[in-house]
Every structure is written in structure tokens, then in C-alpha cells.
Amino acid sequence: MPAVSDSALEGEKPDVLIIGGGISGASIARELSRWNINILLVEKEPDLAMQASGRNDGEVHPGIDLSKGSLKHYYIRKGNAMYGDVCKELGVDFRRVGQYVCFNEGWAKPLISLYVKKKKYIDKIEDSEVISGKELLRREPNFSGGFKFAISNPSTGCVCPYGLTIAYAENAVTNGAKVMLNTAVTGMKVENGRITEVTTNRGTVYPKIVINAAGVFSEEIARMANDRFFSIHPRRGTNSITDKKAGVYMHSVASIKELARSTGHTKGGGILHTVHGNLLIGPDAVETSEKEDFATYPESIEKVFTRQKKTMPALSERDIITYFTGVRAPTFEEDFIIEKGRKTENIIHVAGIQSPGLTTAPAVAKDVEKMAVEMLGGAQKNPSFNPVRKPIPQIRNMSDEERAKMIEKNPDYGEIVCRCEEISKGEIIDALNSPICVPTVDGVKKRVRPGMGRCQGGFCSPLVTKIIAEFLKSPLSEVRKSRDGSVITYGATKGRNSDE
């Protein structure tokens, strides 16, 4: 729970209160900002996308593994098709890298071919095709030479999940929405089947509509609203990230499918070439009783690497630069819940959002937008709505001429702070001046990537800390890594000035 307790929100009367600052809540806030309504998004963490939306592989799925009739299947092709336009508007890097599900068992090719035809012509996953092992090696020469065939889906893409979440929320804020971090919902008052009050650690608010996008805590929010008809059973998944030098081995998304083995409710992990040039390996899937169990265990990494080395033998644990664990929020039905309250009139649930929730988010947000406007009895369009978000300049991706012009305008762009990722002081200051300022080392890291490289901040973290302190006009001892308790330095030593 947040350490802060104040009355910053006391008496607020938003038309729509969105609970949860992940990809679901942020995308819904942005779509609702197309209307002239009062929008408040609250997130209990000190930044956006700190749970499932910032702890996944960033794959934009094709839907080859989903059954027709589910909400996941209904939304996945719609969401996948929207990614190009959405990411262009929001200034977020997105690439269609393609996916390969690889098979060693040649005898299974006729059966898998029939499965793919069903997916292509009946389930409308229209880019699905079977390719030979020879063609697979032509496309990805570092894959195992033992594969007999593979399922190919060229529409598969990759995106930075936390980057997209932040971009959605920033665009919502520039269009009039309000985002409050470090804000947890602690209770609700329900009268005559309607939510009349929502209590938070920042005061009591009085919304017309509540949108429950609280991830693993969505069942708690539903219970507060007297509308709990589902349960969440958390599932952990661990991913590893390699140095960019390993990124040259492949340029797509791939996994091995062993027909003799069951993978339960997971695709068994895979290898993904990220938009930043790294390889991401994972995740596994482990049931857990804890909703914030972000511990990472050696056996998880070993299990995934052992499996994925069968896909690409060149894969090596020596190339790992970091790893992380996320907790998904599946229901026992293993499908999304996107509907109005069953007992409580003025709540919309966006719950059970696990993979492929990142892919479906743009399409889900559009439908929830319609539901909310209808519940409000209609609304006027926001005349000043601008769908375009101007991204922070990326010096590392500019030509020498473009870089020289930026430095001429602002010399801070010529001062490189993070050598691994080639991040300038100017970019860090831009991140601190963004519409949703999170003046922590991790907040800056998520926005412009200092500390994301091979040394994992060993060189640049002290410099980033100093830049944040200068921005806040505060001593270094007041700068935090991510939240109130994450102290970086306690103060001056040996009689020195606290800024040294």
C-alpha cells in the first residue's frame, strides 16, 4: 500500500473513475478523453505499469492458440490490426516481426496443417500458414536444423509494454484526464445498487461510473462494489533479457512445440526479439497464492532456457543481463470479463486480463468507451482532443546531422549519461518534464532507458540520481529508486556536501 495519506482527492466528483494504471486502465482513459467528460484514473503504485503491464514480454499475438467463442478470440484480431495506427499516433516503437511455432515431429505435419486451415478459414486467423523446416532455416538461420516444419504468423509484433501504457496515459492527460499515482482504493459505499462513494488513501471521491481495471486485485474491487461474481487465481511467469549482442541471432518470435508434452495454461515460453534489440526468453507459468509474488528463482530461468535452446542452440545464459517476474490475473474460466456490473449498476469490469491482454487492449478500450458513454446517458465530443503524442527524441537513433541540430538547440542532448543505451541528459530531463512526471530512477529508466543496458545502471545510475535531485531542487538523499522505501543514499559522509 502507498505510504502517502492526504486529502488531495477529497470531494472530487469524476464522471468516470478508472481503478488501475496498467494497459487496460490507461488505454480506456485515453479513449474516454475523446469525450468532454471528467476522467480520474487512480493507481496504487508510484508509477504506471508496475505490475502485469510492465512485467510481460511485449508480444502482440496473432491468436493462433485461441478458441473461437472466447472474448480473447473476439478481441485479438481487432486489437492486433489496430496496433500500427495506435503506436504511430502515440509515438511508440512497434514492429511486426512474425512468429514461428516449431515442430520436430514430421509425422504431425498433416494434422497440424489441418489445424492451421481451421484457424485460417474458420477462426479467421488469416495469416496462418505452415512452412517447411528448410524455409524456416532460410528465414532464421540460427534456429535448430532439426525442425521439420513450423506454423508462421507474420502479423505477430512486439512493443514495449510499459512504454505503450505510459504513452496511453500521457495522451489521456494531455487531453484532460487526471492520473493520480500512489492512490489505493480502500472501500466503497453502495446504495440501492449504485456506488455512491469510493474511499482512497487520498480522500473520498464521488464518481458517476467506476471502471474496474485493477488486474490481480479486480476481484477485491468487485467485492467492495457488492458485485463479485468471479475469482482471480494468480500465475507467475519469469522472463530473462539478454545483451543486445545476442539479438543478432534472430529477429522474430519463436517457440518449440513438443506434442508429447503438456504445457498447461502457457505457451511454454519462447524467444522474442524486442523493439530495443534484446532477446527476451520466457515466460514459464507457475500458480501462486500471492498476488504480488515477483520473486525470481533460478529453476524458472533454467527450465525456460533448457526448453528454448532446442529452438535456438546459440542461446546462452551468459548473455543474460537481467530477469523479472510478473503475475498474471486469470479467472478460473481462463477468459476475459468485460461487462457491466451484474448487481451494481454503475460499474464496468475489465478483469481476468492475462495474455493476450496487451494485444487486445486497443480494441477492448474502444468497447469500454462506448459502454461508459452509454451509462452516462451520452456525452459531447472533446473539441480539443488530439490523438497524437509527441515522443521524447531518441538521440541514439538519429543521423549525425539530426543529432548535431538537436545539440545546437540544447547542449544537454550532447551529454551522454548512459553509455550502454546512448541516453543523453536532455532525454532524461524531457522524461522529468513529461505529462506524468515520476521523478525516480526507475521512473526515468522506464521512459528513456538509462540503466537498461549491459551494466544495468552501474555507470549511469549515480548520474541519473544527480539529475533528478537537480530537477527537484532537493538533496540526493531524497531521490528514490522507485518508491518511498527504496532509499539510494542516506546523506553526506565524511563531512562532505550532500550533493557530492
In this predicted model, what pLDDT tens digit does every residue of 345-376 receive, in sequence order?
Answer: 999 999 999 999 999 999 999 999 999 999 99
pLDDT for the residue 492: 79
Taking a C-beta distance cutoff of 8 angstroms, is the pair 2, 44 a contact?
A: yes
Mind listing the pLDDT tens digit for each residue in 429-464?
999 999 999 999 999 999 999 999 999 999 999 999
pLDDT digits (tens, 9 = 90+) for 290-310: 999 999 999 999 999 999 999
Average pLDDT, the chain: 95
In terms of C-beta density within 10 A (0-12 exposed, 13-18 middle, 19 or more buried), how is residue 233 classed? Answer: middle
| pLDDT for 265 | 45
pTM over 0.85: yes
Q: What is the band of 499 on the pLDDT scale with cuts at 50, 70, 90?
A: low
Interior angle at CA 178, CA 161 and CA 324, nearest 5? 25
Taking only the tens place, the pLDDT of each residue in 119-137 is 999 999 999 999 999 999 9
pLDDT in tens, 5-63: 999 999 999 999 999 999 999 999 999 999 999 999 999 999 999 999 999 999 999 99
Q: Which of 61, 73, 273, 276 is catalytic?
A: 61
- Predicted confidence at residue 263, as pLDDT, reads 46
DSSP 298-360: HHHHHHHHHHHTTT-TT--GGGEEEEEEEEE--BTTSS-EEEE-SS-TTEEEEE---TTHHHH
pLDDT band at 148 (very low <50, low <70, confident <90, very high): very high
Q: How many CB atoms lie within 10 A of CB 293?
A: 15
The answer to whether residue 396 scores a pLDDT higher than 70 is yes
Q: Is 61 among the catalytic positions? A: yes
Q: How confident is the model at residue 496 (pLDDT cuts 50, 70, 90)?
A: low
Residue-wise pLDDT tens digits, 309-330:
999 999 999 999 999 999 999 9
Domains of the chain: 1-95+157-232+329-391 (3.50.50.60), 96-156+233-328 (3.30.9.10), 395-478 (1.10.10)
- Is the predicted pLDDT of residue 402 greater than 80, yes or no? yes
Which stretch of 80-94, 256-270, 369-383 has the lowest confidence by average pLDDT?
Answer: 256-270
